Structure 1
Amino acid sequence: MEKLKVIIKREYLTRVRSKGFIIGTIISPLLMMSFAIVPILVTRAGGPGTYRITILDQTGSTELYERINKLLEPERPRDDKFILSREELPAEASSEDRQLSLNQEIAEGKLDGYLVLPKDVASEERIIYTSKNVGDFDSRSQIGDAINRAVVERRVTLAGLNSDEVRNLIRDVRLDIRNARGEKERGQTFIISFGLLMIIYITILVYGVTVMRGVIEEKQSRIIEVLLSSVRPFELLLGKLIGIGMVGLTQYLVWAVFGLGVSLLMSMPVMAANWSNIPKVSPLQIIFFVVYFVLGYFLYATLYATVGAIVSNEEDGQQMQMPVTMTIVIPVMVSTLVMRNPNGTASVILSLIPFFSPVLMFLRIGLQTPPWWQIALSIVLMIGTILAVIWVAARIYRVGVLMYGKRPTLPELVRWLKYT
């Protein structure tokens, strides 16, 4: 037991002290969060914008201008402010000369944009808006919404209808989706579950390959011969699996603490509006995430360690790992089938296959919680498969780690299993 602890400690400390781990664990999340937070902070710090807009009005009435002005009035202190001015033009006159002068004012910074309201604006499908900054999508959207609403109201009025009554009649109807048990729709639960599923998938790939490379490096440097003089092959295999697994858990623990800090930051009033729509993780999701994360890691990490013991160099390892990698990729590829019918026969069978369970059963839980006996059966099958794989891997590992040169054939691997 003491030797196992030493191996675990060595595998763990060697990796958490590496520059790659520090960069990947600390700097990468900081960069990703900065991409999300900095634009929000910059927008908030900059305060609301002020836009000077001229309306060239050929409608012969101030009604439409006044309605647009009313719709663009800021409702909150942080809303953009639009300063509108109206210039009336004869309906038959051309506005091109005035547009040229307004273009000059925009170039000189005296104006942010201008709008041309033609005589028959209610029958128009397009209205020209010239802006100083065509990339300012926020202000364009606000102006467009105000104009669209004002013109639609004008059309309703011309049709002899009451705009408030029409607006009430065409208001949207929202679907309150529930399942057969009367539970509300779990869209947010699915989103967060799918995110956690991708973490499981990526972790298995990344740390499984890390285990394989660790075995190959020790074989190439002949360190493994020294290690095997002091410990049994099974202890070395188990210590490597647990040590590297702890590295992954440490990385996610750091990210969880980092995420908690970001969550506290987002709870500040300046950020609350942007954070309120983020789905929350339920305790049940966390429990199943940990279960399938740990089981999936041990299952695939053992397979990758076996591949590392069989080959003698990185190139052979890349070729030999493909069957293992495809076993992880296949459930992701068929996940759309499970999404469409999570309780269908195909979905149930596929999710109970131990090599697919970490992805597909966890996905089913996020979509629509399957019967508990199916979840329990998938866990039992995974544990049984892990024990069987470890038994096979340990027998191959104890022989393979000391074999160099030619890659073994399938009959040779069978003989390795028979060695006592």
Structure 2
Amino acid sequence: MNKFWIVLFHTYISKLKTKSFIISTAITIGLVLLVTNLGSIISLFDDGKGDEPDKIAVIDQSKQLYPAFAQQVKLADKDKEIKIFKAKKSEKELEKDIKDEKLEGVLLLDRDQKGELTATYKALDVADSTAVSIFKQAISQTKIVVGTAELKVPQEKLHQLFTPVEVKKVALKEGAKSEEELQKATGLVYVVLFVIYISVLMYASMIATEVATEKSSRVMEILISSVPPIQQMFAKLFGVALLGITQLGALFLTGYLSMQANQEKATGMGDVIKGFFDVSGVPVATLVYGVIFLILGYFLYATLAAFLGSVVSRIEDVQQTISPMILLVVAGFMIAMFGLNAPDSPFITVTSFIPFFAPMIMFLRVGMLDIPVWEAALGIGITALTIVILAVVGAKVYKGGVLMYSSGGGWKNIKQALRLSKDQ
């Protein structure tokens, strides 16, 4: 057992010191800091003008539309991003003010021969669609207001007619999540799914590459003379798992401390990010399931990657050999993304019991729905059993595969590895 721990910590320390790990961790930490401080960073480039609304002049060529239009703009522009005023200058003078950056734009309002409203917006460029979107909404409402006024429809009746009806959602099923709980659970599920997806791709591929690298350098021949191949395999699995915990721990700690430091400054984008990661009110059981399925997902694919890596002799062949595994991970993630909008669909229910999809899709159902405990337990059991089977078969493949130096990979090499393991 001492040899197991030696290989485990050797794998962990050696990977921890590599330039690729340090650089990737530093870059990812930088991205975390960028995201959690995005609101503050954006404000730095506003030069103090970020709080000032854009000034836009309105020329009412019909002499009738401006009062109703101004009222509708006020209702549509809830964030007060633009400030309109009735123009007293000519169109040419206003265009000059725009070029001199005294104005953001000018809007021309009119009615054609049929009485239809027309609008033309002029600005230095039209890349920013915020004002245009507000104007479209306001003009549509102005058209209704003006039209109903001509038909002598009372404004009170008009307001009642166009006031949106709020639909309250009430779940009758006992234990079903409320709308607020479901919103928070969706954010948590998305984060955990993404962590599972990235972790499996990154660390499982790392294990396969590590084994292939040792074989290509003939270090494996020295290792197997002192440490049994099966101990090597599981020592590497746990060593890389410890590396993953270190990296993810650093990322989450950085993100948490950054959000705490910006708690008082959090506005706009900062509030959105903070709300997305807010797990208050999420059941503890959901968090526990998240950890369980993350661990299961890692060991499921890491075990598969270890014995796939053991049947290749060149680093160049690793990606080709593990590509079916990567396709399984991608497929599971894509199904889970679909399931976020329809977690109770029969397709999601069925795929949640398929071992290679269960870590992501069963957790999706646990987080989004109130499913029976036996279903979650069955998903965990099926995945755990698959890991045991992969570990038993994988250990035999690993035992024979580490002594193989034939080119390529595939089923032919796996069968040959199994035959070699029996002869040992």
2:218 is aligned with 1:205: no
Query: Deviation of residue 264 (structure 1)?
Result: 1.9
The residue number in structure 2 matching 1:4 is 4
* Distance of aligned partners of 1:344 and 1:57 in 2 relative to their CA distance in 1, 3 Å threshold: closer
The residue number in structure 2 matching 1:184 is 178
> Structure 2 length normalisation: TM-score?
0.83
CA–CA distance in structure 2, aligned partners of residues 338 and 272 of structure 1: 29
Name stretches of at least 5 consecutive residues in structure 2 with no aligned partner. none
2:114 is aligned with 1:114: no
The residue number in structure 2 matching 1:227 is 223
Greater relative contact order, per chain length (Cα 8 Å cut-off, separation 6+): 2
Equivalenced residues, count: 409
Deviations 1:186-217 (A, max 9, x none): 24423431332132122212211110000011
Task: Verify the 8 A CA contact 1:190 1:367 in the aligned structure 2.
Answer: yes
Task: Verify the 8 A CA contact 1:351 1:378 in the aligned structure 2.
Answer: yes
CA–CA distance in structure 1, aligned partners of residues 342 and 134 of structure 2: 41
> Structure 1 length normalisation: TM-score?
0.83
- Helix, strand or coil at the partner of 1:55: strand
Among the aligned pairs, what percent are the same residue?
27
- Helix, strand or coil at the partner of 1:46: coil
* Distance of aligned partners of 1:360 and 1:144 in 2 relative to their CA distance in 1, 3 Å threshold: closer
Structure number with bigger Rg: 1
* Distance of aligned partners of 1:120 and 1:365 in 2 relative to their CA distance in 1, 3 Å threshold: same
Equivalent positions of 1:77-88 (< 5 A) are 79-80=80-81, 82=83, 84-87=85-88
CA–CA distance in structure 1, aligned partners of residues 415 and 81 of structure 2: 75
Equivalent positions of 1:5-404 (< 5 A) are 5-31=5-31, 33-34=33-34, 36-37=38-39, 38-39=41-42, 42-43=45-46, 45-49=48-52, 51-60=54-63, 64-69=65-70, 79-80=80-81, 82=83, 84-87=85-88, 98-118=90-110, 123-181=115-173, 183-185=177-179, 186-271=182-267, 274-276=270-272, 277-278=275-276, 280-281=278-279, 282=282, 283-335=284-336, 342=343, 347-404=348-405
Query: Deviation of residue 340 (structure 1)?
Result: 7.2
Query: Deviation of residue 67 (structure 1)?
Result: 4.7
Amino acid at match of 1:124: E
- Helix, strand or coil at the partner of 1:322: helix
Deviations 1:37-88 (A, max 9, x none): 4235545943323544443333345xx4345456667999x94563624449
Q: Which moved more, 1:370-379 or 1:67-76?
A: 67-76
CA–CA distance in structure 2, aligned partners of residues 409 and 113 of structure 1: 69
CA–CA distance in structure 1, aligned partners of residues 70 and 341 of structure 2: 48
Task: Verify the 8 A CA contact 2:362 2:376 in the aligned structure 1.
Answer: yes
Query: Deviation of residue 256 (structure 1)?
Result: 0.9
* Distance of aligned partners of 1:71 and 1:41 in 2 relative to their CA distance in 1, 3 Å threshold: farther
* Distance of aligned partners of 1:162 and 1:269 in 2 relative to their CA distance in 1, 3 Å threshold: farther
CA–CA distance in structure 1, aligned partners of residues 99 and 128 of structure 2: 16
Task: Verify the 8 A CA contact 1:204 1:296 in the aligned structure 2.
Answer: yes
Task: Verify the 8 A CA contact 1:201 1:328 in the aligned structure 2.
Answer: yes
Query: Deviation of residue 306 (structure 1)?
Result: 0.5
Task: Verify the 8 A CA contact 2:56 2:82 in the aligned structure 1.
Answer: no
Task: Verify the 8 A CA contact 1:354 1:382 in the aligned structure 2.
Answer: yes
Task: Verify the 8 A CA contact 2:32 2:254 in the aligned structure 1.
Answer: no
Amino acid at match of 2:393: V
Query: Deviation of residue 378 (structure 1)?
Result: 1.8
Amino acid at match of 1:303: L
Task: Verify the 8 A CA contact 1:57 1:87 in the aligned structure 2.
Answer: no
CA–CA distance in structure 2, aligned partners of residues 137 and 382 of structure 1: 49
The residue number in structure 2 matching 1:94 is none
Q: Which moved more, 1:156-165 or 1:296-305?
A: 156-165
Task: Verify the 8 A CA contact 1:193 1:285 in the aligned structure 2.
Answer: no
What CA RMSD, in Å, does the superposition of the two structures yield over aligned residues? 3.4
Task: Verify the 8 A CA contact 2:73 2:138 in the aligned structure 1.
Answer: yes
* Distance of aligned partners of 1:162 and 1:30 in 2 relative to their CA distance in 1, 3 Å threshold: farther
CA–CA distance in structure 2, aligned partners of residues 320 and 347 of structure 1: 28
CA–CA distance in structure 1, aligned partners of residues 21 and 81 of structure 2: 44
Name stretches of at least 5 consecutive residues in structure 1 with no aligned partner. 89-97
Task: Verify the 8 A CA contact 1:50 1:83 in the aligned structure 2.
Answer: no
Task: Verify the 8 A CA contact 1:68 1:147 in the aligned structure 2.
Answer: yes
* Distance of aligned partners of 1:330 and 1:154 in 2 relative to their CA distance in 1, 3 Å threshold: closer
CA–CA distance in structure 2, aligned partners of residues 291 and 17 of structure 1: 28
The residue number in structure 2 matching 1:93 is none
- Helix, strand or coil at the partner of 2:107: strand
The residue number in structure 2 matching 1:95 is none
CA–CA distance in structure 1, aligned partners of residues 253 and 113 of structure 2: 57
* Distance of aligned partners of 1:417 and 1:359 in 2 relative to their CA distance in 1, 3 Å threshold: farther
Task: Verify the 8 A CA contact 1:310 1:401 in the aligned structure 2.
Answer: yes
